[in-house]
Structure 1
Amino acid sequence: MIEILVLYYSRHGSTRNVARLIARGIESTGAVARLRTVPELSIAGETKPAVTADDPFVTLEDLKACQGLALGSPVRFGNMAAPLKHFIDSTSKEWLAGTLIGKPAMVFNSGSMLHGGQETTLQSMMLPLLHHGMVIVGLPHSEAALHTTTGGGSPYGPSHLTSEARRHPDTDEKALAIAGGKRLADIASKLHP
């Protein structure tokens, strides 16, 4: 059975919403989506809590058990959020052991500002995955929603442009997230039959 780890951090729920859509795409292929998140970090001067975690916290064992990875974060100054980066920084032993070599991976995010760093965040999230030897999976231009989206989504991965008026992904963002999950699971099944 192909099992894909959908690992995300979500401060206000938007990235979690994209993660759920990607999981739907994964499961539409018959694969299993293992949704996991990371714990909040203490940030000086902040008192607003993160969204209550609906999914369990990730373990290093989750990385070993999966045949693919979808990694998601809110946009933070063109990079992934600190709690997710903190977890990635803890994977040195898995890097040395080659745990993720040859497994496919995709990245996704959410952000509240058009041109606010969604694509650079997606690209920067790919860097540690490349160091782990993972095979990066993007969204091809054959996905019709890439040509019509006025919110999130790019060849680098699914995303959601969020605001008070747009709390949930729109039709194109949903289509791209589901298509990304399907593509990731399909490639995982070819690489790890």
Structure 2
Amino acid sequence: MTEILILYYSRHGSVAKMARQIARGVESVAGASARLRTVPPVSADCEKTGPDVPDSGAPYADARDLKECAGLILGSPTRFGNMAAPLKYFLDGTSGLWLSGALVGKPAAVFTSTGSLHGGQETTLMSMALPLLHHGMLLLGLPYTEPALSTTQAGGTPYGASHHAGVGGPPRPLTREEETLCQALGRRVAEISLKLQ
């Protein structure tokens, strides 16, 4: 079974919902399976250490998850046009994988959720792409052959899946087009991972 790692950080749940839709896309491909992992929050305050296992949701990732995957799909909410600090903190600790070349040649993709429609989706996706390129990964986006990319009124970019969660109040649910694009991204990474093996 070809395993695709979906690694994300989610503060209010939208990125986690996207990750589950991406996993559906991965698992729609015969011979592929999804491994969902998250990263713990970080804080500038001095506080006690959190649990080694999250109270709910996906388990925390470690370097072994990255080393074992056949492909990687990375997700984060937008923080001022950039990936969230917890994901950046985790990626900053992957220099051992970079030195060994463990991720070289593996396909990768990115996804994000923002509060506002023009709140930095594309720059956040690009900020996540940079460390993947440094690791020698093969970056994949969403081609315009995906009809939902041209019809979406919310999230969706050729750089990766995205979601417009809204500001103030509970996050908006994923639209049908956003779900479709998340699944398409998962399917694409899974199919190319299988071809490369």
TM more than 0.5: yes
SS at 2:82 equivalent: coil
User: Do the aligned partners of residues 52 and 10 (structure 1) sit closer, same or farther apart at CA in structure 2, a change above 3 Å counting?
Assistant: farther
- Partner residue in 1 for 2:177: 172
TM-aligned CA deviation for residue 52 of structure 1? 5.1
Match of 2:105 in 1: 102
- Corresponding position of 2:143: 140
What residue is the counterpart of 2:3 in the other structure?
3
Q: How does 1:20-31 map to 2 (within 5 A)?
A: 20-30=20-30, 31=32
Are residues 1:85 and 2:88 paired?
Answer: yes
**Aligned-residue offset at 1:71:** 0.1
Matches within 5 A, 1:41-120: 41-44=42-45, 53-120=56-123
Inter-CA distance 137–144: structure 2 relative to 1 (3 Å threshold): same
Q: What secondary structure, in the 3-state scheme, does the structure 2 residue paired with 1:75 have?
A: strand
**Aligned to 1:190, what secondary structure does the other structure show?**
helix
Contact 2:12 / 2:171 at 8 angstroms: preserved in 1?
A: no
1:104-132 Cα distance to aligned partner (Å, 9 max, x none)? 00000001101110000001110000000
Q: Which runs of 5+ in 2 are unaligned?
A: 47-53
* TM-score normalised by structure 1 residue count: 0.94
Task: Give the aligned residue type for 1:32.
Answer: S
Looking at structure 2, the residues matched to 140 and 52 of structure 1 have their Cα atoms a distance apart, in angstroms, of 37
Q: Percent identity?
A: 58
Once residues 55 and 85 of structure 1 are traced to their aligned partners in structure 2, the CA distance between those partners, rounded to angstroms, is: 18
Per the alignment, residue 15 of structure 1 pairs with 15
CA offsets, 1:76-104, max 9 Å, x none? 11110000000000000100000000000
RMSD: 1.8
Structure 1 runs, 4 residues or longer, greater than 6 Å off: none
Aligned partners of 2:55, 2:113: CA distance in 1, in Å?
18
Count residues with an aligned counterpart.
189
Q: Kindly provide the amino acid, as one letter, of the partner of residue 156 in structure 1.
A: Y
Unaligned runs of 5+ in 1: 46-50
Q: Distance in 1 between matches of 2:7 and 2:112?
A: 11
Read off the aligned partner of 1:159 and give its amino acid letter.
S
